[in-house]
Structure formats: C-alpha cells, structure tokens
Amino acid sequence: MPELPEVEVVRRGLERWIVGRTTAEVAVLHPRAVRRHVAGAADFAARLSGRRVLDARRRGKYLWLPLGDGPSGPASDDGDWALLAHLGMSGQLLVQPADAPDEKHLRVRVGFQDELHTELRFVDQRTFGGLSLHPLTEDGVPDAVAHIARDPLDPEFDEEGFHRALRARRTTVKRALLDQSLISGVGNIYADEALWRTGLHYDRPTAALTRPRVSELLAHVRAVMGEALAVGGTSFDSLYVNVNGESGYFDRSLDAYGREDEPCRRCGTPIRRRPWMNRSSYYCPRCQRPPRVRRPLAAG
C-alpha cells in the first residue's frame, strides 16, 4: 500500500525518467482514473498533451509534475498547472517501453515527443487512485493539495504546531496520525509501526500526550519511514512497485503490522490484531497498554 516512502520512491523515478520531456498523445482508458479532473477525460487529455514536464514534487502521498509550455503554446492562460497523482490503494506509475504489452489494469497512457520510446502509464487495479490537472497556488502546490499538511520528512514541518493541534483535538493518536490535514504521508502500516516503536496504544487520547512524547512519536515516524525509503518501500504483493516495476523490501522489517499472533520483538507477547475503522490495528498488548476506560461516577 503506497504511503510516503513508496510515493517518494516513485517521485524519484519520475524525476529521473520523465522530467524534462514533452508529452505527446494522452489516452484515458478508464474515466474513473481521472474523476478528480472535473472537466472530464477529454479535457484532461487535451490539456496534458504537448506540455513540458518541469519537475517531480511530493507532499505526503500526493505527487505532482509541474507543467510548462510546449510547442503547441502555453499550458494554460490562467497561470501554472500541474499533473497531480494519487496512487490510492493500488496505483502504479510506470515508465514502460512504448511497445510493451498493456497491463491488465492500465488506466491512462502518456506518450512523449522524443526518441526514447518509453511512455508513462498509470496502472490501478482498485481505482482508488487517479490523475488530474490543477492550477498551482502561490506556494507551488496544486490547489487540490492545499489542505494537506506538510509531511514529517519536510524540513518545514511544524512540530510545535502539530503538538498544539493534538492537544486541542478530542481524538485518539492513530486517528490523528492518519489525518492528512494534521500530518501527511502516514498510512495504516507506518502508523502501527511508529506506535509500536513508541510504545503507544492506538486508542490513546491525543490531548493527554506530552510534548516529549509527541517528539518521540514523530522521531519514530521519521525513522520508520526513512528505513523503508532506504530499501525501496514496503510491498506485500505486486501492487506497489517503483516506476521500473520493482518491489521494495521493507515488509521484512515490520515489527507490528501483519504480525498477528507472532511474538513481539521486544517482549515476546503475541501481537494482536483488532478491527479498527473498517481496517486493522496491530499492537503489542504488553508494550502498548490500552488507555484506562473512564467509568461514569456512580449515582447516589
């Protein structure tokens, strides 16, 4: 499942293989893949065709390619635009030889005006992800991403502001980690891993977290993401791959996620899995004590 490290691996691939090239024909093979482009698939293909790719950027799990003018004229008459991508659950951005057979779940194909004979393909089995075109705000971020918080690997991430937000919220720590308007890039896997490393139960109220505890949690979030990035991300199956179609290896290093009934690597207690918000939470019942349940005062 692509979270921040996996998206960063893809961004680096796009930076290497796509930046500087000018797009040619664009084919939308499944309209749902461009559903966030409100003007529709035809407009998406027309606007994207003939544009020079200037850069490959990322915030949290979103990545985008700022577009410049092409031989056919300006990209738009109302400022700078970018191709925005979200991989969702199963999205892949692949750079493939133009004559390679179509993938089973190929949704969008972008050709280029050069002699490299490779094309950019958006492949997505579950179609939770998608591509769209958006104007850039003054911060250089697509307007659709303006509400997304900076991610913990961003040097401008506001740790003090994050702590203040946690103190003010009446929510629990894992919910907060997955709230992309508070901190971006964290998904179910790295949330469970960071909580296990910090020794925090997923249901702990955020308002009770001290400043040092929040710092510790953020340090573990950064560490687990950095380690995953170093080995190409986490992949349980063929659904997450880099632009060359290769999987990462971090799943071999996970301490909590997906390890139900296996011994905790700290204390040996079997890891538990609990249904949580239509998904699962994995935790060590000894290292990560659940919060005490508040009982109402007895009447009389």
Q: Which one of the spans 11-19, 115-123, 185-193, 223-231 is the region binding DNA (CB under 7 A)? A: 185-193
CB 110 within 8 A of CB 123: no
Q: Is 170 in the site for DNA (CB under 7 A)?
A: yes
SS3 191: helix
Please state whether 27 falls in left (phi above 0), alpha (psi between -120 and 50) or beta: beta
Q: Is 257 in the site for DNA (CB under 7 A)?
A: yes
Report whether 35 belongs to an annotated binding site.
no
The answer to whether residue 279 is catalytic is yes
Q: Which of 190, 174, 152, 1 is nearest to 88 (CA)?
A: 1
Using CB under 7 A as the binding rule, whether residue 294 contacts DNA is answered as: no
Q: 57-77 burial, b if ≥16 CB within 10 A, otherwise e?
A: bbbbbbbbbbbeebeeeebee
Residues numbered 68-127 forming contacts with DNA, rule: CB under 7 A: 86, 88-89, 104-105, 125-127
Which of 110, 189, 195, 225: binder of DNA (CB under 7 A)? 189
* Cβ 238 to DNA shortest distance, Å: 8
Q: Is 213 in the site for DNA (CB under 7 A)?
A: no
Query: Closest CB to DNA among 21 and 121?
Result: 121
Binds DNA by CB under 7 A, chosen from 5, 66, 187, 233: 187
Closest CB 250 distance from DNA, rounded Å: 14
Q: Smallest distance, Å, CB 89 to DNA?
A: 4
- From the list 10, 120, 141, 144, which residue makes contact with DNA (rule: CB under 7 A)? 144
β-strand partners of 146: none
DSSP 8-state assignment for residue 201: -
Give the interface segment with DNA, choosing from 16-24, 74-82, 240-248, 273-281 (CB under 7 A). 273-281
Q: How far is the CB of 24 from DNA (least distance, A)?
A: 28
Q: What residue spans of the chain are helical by DSSP H?
A: 4-17, 41-48, 159-168, 173-178, 188-198, 211-230
* Stretch of residues binding DNA (CB under 7 A), selected from 50-58, 112-120, 227-235, 270-278: 270-278
* Active site annotation includes 2: yes
Kindly tell me the burial class for residue 85, based on how many C-beta atoms sit within 10 Å of its own C-beta (0-12, 13-18, 19 or more). Answer: buried
Residues binding DNA: number (CB under 7 A): 34
Contact between 218 and 226 (Cβ < 8 Å): no
> What would the DSSP string read from start to end of 79-140?
S-EEEEEE-TTTEEEEEEETTSPPPTTEEEEEEESSSS-EEEEEEESS---EEEEEEB-TTS
Binding residues for DNA, rule: CB under 7 A, are: 1, 3, 32, 60-62, 86, 88-89, 104-105, 125-128, 144, 168-172, 175, 178, 180, 187-189, 257, 273, 275, 277-280
What is the set of active-site residues? Answer: 2-3, 61, 279
List binding-site positions for DNA: 105, 126, 169
